[in-house]
Amino acid sequence: MIRVQGVDFEPGAEIDKLLHGRTAVGGVASFIGVVREDPRGPALRAMTLEHYPGMTERMLAAIEQEANRRWNLSASLIIHRYGRMVPGDRIVLVVTAAPHRQAALESCQFLIDWLKTKAPFWKCEETEEGEQWVEAQVRDDVAAAKWQTEPAAN
């Protein structure tokens, strides 16, 4: 299941809802991305996430489908926010549930690595020095690329 929304989400409630009635689940992995302030840079006032409505939903659904093809999952959830957020705010939630922990943990990391480089979101930071678009990190491409060759274990 995927959701793209402006409002915050409550991780515990989302996980409870996802797992409700699924008695074959043996492990649940989750990742929460949070607006982070770089202590070395100028004070961060806010971050605005822009996205490409329509394509965002398509890409997230495709990434989720790929995770379900590679791993034996009981359930999965991606929630990604857009709009203006302040340091400490939640941006993204990824939850994967599986009969066994390895599939849950690996697929959770796969989902967050892939969505960073494939889902059409752009971050713009507001600091006391003005506004600036965040540049893509080479390490994100490296993290995503490793899943192209690594065979799924389960």
CB nearer other proteins, residue 74 or residue 92: 92
Q: Counting contacts by CB under 8 A, is residue 115 touching other proteins? A: yes
- Encoding tokens for residue 13? 């409630």
On the CB side of 77, how many CA atoms lie within 13 Å of its CA? 21
CB nearer other proteins, residue 19 or residue 44: 44
Q: Which of 61, 134, 142, 153 binds other proteins (CB under 8 A)?
A: 134
- Please say whether the beta carbons of 50 and 67 come within 8 A: no
Q: Counting contacts by CB under 8 A, is residue 120 touching other proteins? A: yes
Q: Which of 72, 117, 127, 154 binds other proteins (CB under 8 A)?
A: 117
Burial 105-128 (b: 16+ CB within 10 A, else e): bbbbbbbbbbbbeebebebebbbe
Where on the chain is the footprint of other proteins (CB under 8 A)? Answer: 33, 49-52, 54-55, 58, 80, 91-92, 112, 115-124, 133-137, 140
